[in-house]
Amino acid sequence: MLKKWLLFALVCFFLYSNVSVTFAAPKWDRVADHIEQEMQHALEVYTTGDVDGAKKVVNDVYYGIYEKDGLEMAVRNTVASKNANLTEYQFSKIKKSMTNQMPEAQVKQEIVTMMDMINDDVKKLQGANSSHGGWAAFWPAFLILVREGVEAILVLAAILAYLIKSGNEEKVTVVYNYSIAAIVASFITAYIFHLLTSSSGAGASQEIMEGATMLVAVVVLLSVSYWMGGKANTKAWTQYIESNVQTSLTQSNTMALGMAAFLAVYREGAEVVLFYQALFNGAGDDVQMIWMGFAAGCLALGIIFMLVRLGTVKIPIRPFFIGTSIFMYFLAVSFAGSGVKELQEGGLISTTPLDMALFPNIDFFGLYPTIETLIPQIILLAAAAIHLIHKRIKNKEAIS
């Protein structure tokens, strides 16, 4: 087992080393200046009557500079996600004014408004980095790794624990091998995304793909939530795990176990790599603090893994499944809003902003002040309320 953990650490170190070399860190004021220059170019194109050409320039600024150079991620992690979302909406507002062929002065004012927002965020970024020093780079690196890694660890630990207790310890190697393969695949996926976003117009395609993936995840999360609710007792859960894992073992279908481990790691890994890419883009002289955050995150995940594996962290089955069922449904509601937002950024769905004072912007809840993002969330919450009411009525009838 120690050899596996050493191999795991070496793979992480090698791949993350390549990431840190590949993506250099720009100065945020230079990024802002670049955005302003290109937006002025977009305005010049608009004044010639080429609306489509002007909108293309705006898209290139958003996907090729604001997102790709890491300014959006830096603002989201260091300043406030609300600020990043407001800037995204302002990009959409500029394109909408161009589509409606508004006067040049009005389009120019929209651009000025957006640049004021971006420059204010850049000042806050510079202030945050100067006041907090390297810790402004350490904590995002640490929290991102821990946040994304815990879910995969819980799945892996459950599989490994059963294999060992059931006398199939030789199958443990399969789980570790597939987990390492998933890490490599995560970096390959992130690299492909990087290549796509390097070409013109590919940024919109990435947003659309991410949005579609999130909406597919909504369906999966809803089914898992329903399944969890039906396994909220120790006997049902034990029977389910033993029947499924034992079937794989008796059929010598080790690939099934390996793929379960692979998917658990892969779905989190690619996202971690993309987050770290943005962190390195904005690290400046604090790259070493990102490494410290990464190392601390690995240590924390190792401790969490050992605690779960050794059984020192024991959660009663019924509370675990009820809580997890609720959490999965919450994630589905959150992903529904986030998925629609990604489609909005990709230009596939329109954006109808609401008053920010009445409808807050909270990334963690997937809550965004637009009509399009709120509609699916309201439908899901209404469905949950109807289901609970129906279940309560049914239980009362059964008792009577």
pLDDT of residue 44: 95
pLDDT of residue 134: 58
At 262, which amino acid appears?
F
Q: For residues 122 and 144, state if they share a domain.
A: no
- What stretches of the chain show up as alpha helix (H) in DSSP? 2-22, 28-47, 51-61, 71-74, 81-99, 104-132, 135-165, 172-198, 202-229, 234-250, 254-281, 287-309, 317-345, 371-399
Residue 349 in domain: no
pLDDT digit string, tens, across residues 318-353: 665 676 677 778 878 888 888 888 888 777 888 787
pLDDT of residue 228: 58
The domain in which residue 127 lies consists of 28-132
Q: For residues 314 and 199, state if they share a domain.
A: yes
pLDDT digit string, tens, across residues 55-64: 999 988 998 8
> Exposed, middle or buried: residue 3 (CB in 10 Å: 0-12, 13-18, 19+)?
exposed
Q: Which residue has the tokens 């990334």?
A: 363
Q: For the residues 111-133, what does the mean pLDDT come to?
A: 81
Q: For residues 317 and 190, state if they share a domain.
A: yes
Q: For the residues 121-142, what does the mean pLDDT come to?
A: 70
Domains held by the chain: number: 2
> Exposed, middle or buried: residue 202 (CB in 10 Å: 0-12, 13-18, 19+)?
middle
pLDDT of residue 150: 79
Q: For residues 141 and 165, state if they share a domain.
A: yes
Q: For residues 108 and 195, state if they share a domain.
A: no
Residue 364 in domain: no
Residue 384 in domain: no
Q: For residues 95 and 155, state if they share a domain.
A: no
Q: For residues 275 and 154, state if they share a domain.
A: yes
End-to-end Cα separation, the chain, in angstroms: 56
pLDDT grade for 154, boundaries at 50, 70 and 90: confident
Please determine, for residue 12, whether its predicted confidence score (pLDDT) is greater than 70.
no
Q: For residues 204 and 295, state if they share a domain.
A: yes
Among 132, 154, 178, identify where a domain stops: 132
Q: For residues 12 and 75, state if they share a domain.
A: no
φ, ψ of residue 68 to 5 degrees: the values are -65, -40
* Residue 251: DSSP 8-state: T
At 301, which amino acid appears?
L
User: Tokens at residue 54, please?
Assistant: 């002007």
Residue 277 in domain: yes
Residue 43 in domain: yes
Q: What whole-number percentage of the chain has pLDDT above 90?
A: 19
What whole-number distance in Å separates Cα of residue 184 and Cα of residue 122? 34
Residue 35 in domain: yes
Residue 6 in domain: yes
Residue 353's SS3 state is strand
Q: For residues 120 and 97, state if they share a domain.
A: yes
* Residues 279/141, Cβ–Cβ less than 8 Å: yes
pLDDT of residue 121: 93
Among 76, 101, 132, identify where a domain stops: 132
Q: Which residue has the tokens 């996600």?
A: 81
The number of residues in the chain equals 400
User: Tokens at residue 121, please?
Assistant: 């965020």
Among 101, 132, 163, identify where a domain stops: 132
Q: For the residues 368-394, what does the mean pLDDT come to?
A: 88
pLDDT digit string, tens, across residues 171-201: 788 888 888 898 888 888 777 766 765 554 4
Nearest Cα residue to 88 out of 101, 75, 77, 107: 75
Higher pLDDT, 74 or 203: 74
Residue 347 in domain: no
* Residue 315: DSSP 8-state: -
Q: For residues 321 and 198, state if they share a domain.
A: yes
pLDDT digit string, tens, across residues 206-236: 667 667 766 776 776 677 667 556 655 555 5
φ, ψ of residue 314 to 5 degrees: the values are -120, 125
User: Tokens at residue 148, please?
Assistant: 């994304």
Q: Please work out, in degrees rounded to the nearest 5, the angle formed at the alpha carbon of residue 137 by the alpha carbons of 132 and 139.
A: 90
pLDDT of residue 100: 93
Q: Which residue has the tokens 């410290």?
A: 292
pLDDT of residue 10: 43
Other CB atoms within 10 A of residue 325 CB: 19
Mean pLDDT of the chain: 75
Nearest Cα residue to 180 out of 292, 258, 291: 258
What sign results for the dihedral spanned by CA atoms 176, 178, 184, 190? negative
φ, ψ of residue 362 to 5 degrees: the values are -130, 105
pLDDT grade for 254, boundaries at 50, 70 and 90: low
pLDDT of residue 376: 93
Please determine, for residue 120, whether its predicted confidence score (pLDDT) is greater than 60.
yes
pLDDT digit string, tens, across residues 80-115: 878 888 898 899 899 999 999 999 999 999 999 999
pLDDT grade for 17, boundaries at 50, 70 and 90: very low
Q: For residues 43 and 163, state if they share a domain.
A: no
